[in-house]
Amino acid sequence: MSRFWKIALIVLAVVVIAVVGIRMLHKPGDGAAKGANGKGGDAPPVPVTVVPVVKQNVPVYLTALGTVQALNTVTVIPQVSGRLLSIEFTEGQPVKQGQVLARIDPRTFQANYDQAVSRRKQDQSLLATARSNYQRSQDPKYSQYVAKIDQVTQKNTVAQYEAAVAADEAAIRDAKVQLDYTEIRSPIDGLAGIRAVDPGNVVTTSSAIVTLTQLHPINVMFTLPEQNLDMVRSAAQGGKPLEVTALDRVDAHPIASGGVLKVIDNQIDTSTGTFRLKSEFSNEHDELWPGQFVNVRLLVNTVDGGLVIPSQGVQRGPDGDYVYLVQGDNTVKMQSIVVAGEVGDSHVMVGSGLKVGDKVVTEGQFRLKPGSKVNPLKPGEVPAAPTAAELQKSRQDNKGGRGRH
C-alpha cells in the first residue's frame, strides 16, 4: 500500500471517531435532564421544620461564675497548753455546738483551782476574825477601853480581808475558766474536717485541732460587671429577695435552687471592673460544698409578653441576625431580627422583626434561599414518602444525568 493511502486511512479513522464522539455528547436524554434540573424545571418543595413565634413571660437572668463559701469557718485552737489526752470527734462527721472535741490533761489546772478555793477559805476566816474584833471594839461596854487608833486599824483590817476574799473569788473564777478550757468544745454546729494533731502530743495556744465548717445555710460568692450594678440594685430594692440558682459547671443543670441574694458589696473592684455579691442557700441536702465552683444564675426581671423562638432558627449574616420566615404561599424570605436575650438553653427572645404567629424555619435552612418553596413540617414530623410518579421522575432525571457524563 502506498504512502498516500496510509495517510488517507488515518484521516478517515480520525473523522469517524470524531463523529461518534459528537453523537454521544448529544443524546436525546440531555434535553429532558435539562428540563428537570435546569433553570426551566420546577424544583420540588424543600421539607423544613417550622415553629410559630409565641408570646410568654420571659425571665431575665444574669450569669456568673461563683464560689461556694461556708457560712462560718472556725479553726479550733486550744486556749490553754498541755498534753492532749483524747480526740472526741469523728473526722468528716457533724458536730453540735458545745460538743467536746478534745481533752487536755487537767491536773495542773485542777490544782490551781483547788489552791484558789483554799486561799479564799483562809481569807474568809481571817475576815471573820477581823469583823468580830471590830464589832467588839464598837460595843459601848468595851469602846471606852479601846484606843481610837486601834479602832481605825481594826476597821482597815476588815476592809483588807474583804478585798482579799474578793480577789480570791476572782482567782477561783479564772482557775475555773482555765480548767474548763481543758475540754475543747465546738463553738458552732458544723462539719468536722481532718484533725491536725494526735492524742499524746503537747499542744499550745497556737496549735490547731480541727477546722469546722457550717454548711446549713451556705453562701455562694460571685461577681458581675459594673454595668449590671444599676439593674441589680433596682431589682433588689423591689422588696422581694432576688432568686439565685446554682448550676453545675459541666452541663449547666441546676444543682441547688431557692437561693436568695443577701449582700451587694459596697465598692467596685477598679482592677477588674466588677462588684461582688453574696447569696445564701439552705443547702438542706448538702448539694453545695465549700470551695466548689458553680455557675450562678441571678433572676433580675421578668418580661411580660416576650416573643420567643427556638435559638436554632436564628442565623448570622453580614448584616446581623436573621431568620427564614415562611409566607402565605409557602415560600420563604430572609427576615432581619434583633435578639433581646436568651431564654433557657434552647430559645431566645426577639426584640424586633417578628410578631406573634409568624412561622420561622428551625431545621433545613441550609437548603434554602430567598423565594424557595417549602413543605412546612411541625417539630418531630418527617417528610411524606415519595409517590410512584415522583420516583419515576427521579429515575428519569438520574438516567439523563448519567447520559451527560
pLDDT at 33: 40
Q: Determine the Cα–Cα distance for residues 55 and 286; give it in Å rounded to an integer.
A: 38
pLDDT of amino acid 239? 77
pTM of the model: 0.64
As a 3-state breakdown, the chain gives helix, strand, coil percent values, each rounded to 5, of 35, 40, 30
C-alpha cell at 159: 476592809
At 55 the three-state DSSP class reads: strand
Peptide bond into 217 cis (omega under 30): yes
pLDDT tens digit sequence for 308-333: 999 888 998 888 899 999 998 999 99
Q: How far apart are CA 309 and CA 270, in angstroms?
A: 39
* Nearest-angstrom CA–CA distance, 177 and 199: 22
Give the other-Cβ count within 10 Å of 360's Cβ: 24
Amino acid present at 285: H
pLDDT at 404: 40
Q: Does 106-181 carry CATH code 2.60.40?
A: no
Domain definitions of the chain by residue range:
106-181
pLDDT of residue 4: 63
pLDDT score, position 380: 77
Q: What is the DSSP string of 212-227?
A: EEEEEEEEEEEEEEGG
DSSP class of 273? T
In the block, cell 495542773 appears at 108
How many angstroms separate the CA atoms of 192 and 304, rounded? 48
Query: What is the model's pLDDT at position 17?
Result: 75
What pLDDT does 325 receive? Answer: 92
Cell numbers of 329, please?
404561599
With helix as H, strand as E and coil as C, how does 160-176 read?
HHHHHHHHHHHHHHHHH
pLDDT the model gives residue 61: 86
Burial per residue of 336-352, b for 16 or more beta-carbon CB atoms within 10 angstroms, e otherwise: ebebbeebeeebbbbee
CA atoms of 29 and 73, how far apart (whole Å): 85
Alpha-carbon span 27 to 257, nearest angstrom: 72
Within the chain, which residues score under 70 in pLDDT? 1-6, 8, 11, 14-16, 19-43, 142-146, 382-405
Q: Kind and range of the H or E element at 271?
A: none
What type of residue is 323? V
CA distance 94 to 190: 6
Neighbours of 95 (CB within 10 A): 22
Alpha helices in 139-264 (DSSP H): 140-143, 148-180, 229-236
